[in-house]
Amino acid sequence: MNPLNIQKMAAAFGLIAFGVLAVGSVLMGSRMLTGMIRGGLAALVFGGLVWGFGSAFLQVDEDDEVQDMAEDGNDPDKGAKLDETA
């Protein structure tokens, strides 16, 4: 996953957290400014968590080409040493 997708995912989680917490706070009786502050802090916290964990766990390894080598059926040594132990 490239870094741009991780940033988009973090922004999406941050916006969802902001919306839920800001609207929920206002609906539960807090003032508009308090709801916006709570929503902004939630966006920073949850967006930062997703960005941090995404950067840590979803980065592509540089050794992927070596680990995922496709094996074709044209190996000349395949089956050459089957009867040596008998």
Q: Is residue 14 a contact partner of residue 47, using CB atoms and an 8 Å limit?
A: yes
Q: Is residue 54 a contact partner of residue 1, using CB atoms and an 8 Å limit?
A: yes
pLDDT of residue 26: 94
DSSP 82: S
Residues 16, 18, 21, 24, Cα dihedral to 10°: -80
Query: Considering the entire predicted model, what is its pTM?
Result: 0.64
Q: Delimit the domains of the chain by residue range.
A: 3-58
The answer to whether residue 78 scores a pLDDT higher than 80 is no
21-75: pLDDT as tens digits:
999 999 999 999 999 999 999 999 999 999 999 988 887 666 555 554 556 666 6
CA–CA dist 61, 35 (Å, integer)? 41
CA–CA dist 62, 2 (Å, integer)? 13
pLDDT of residue 41: 96
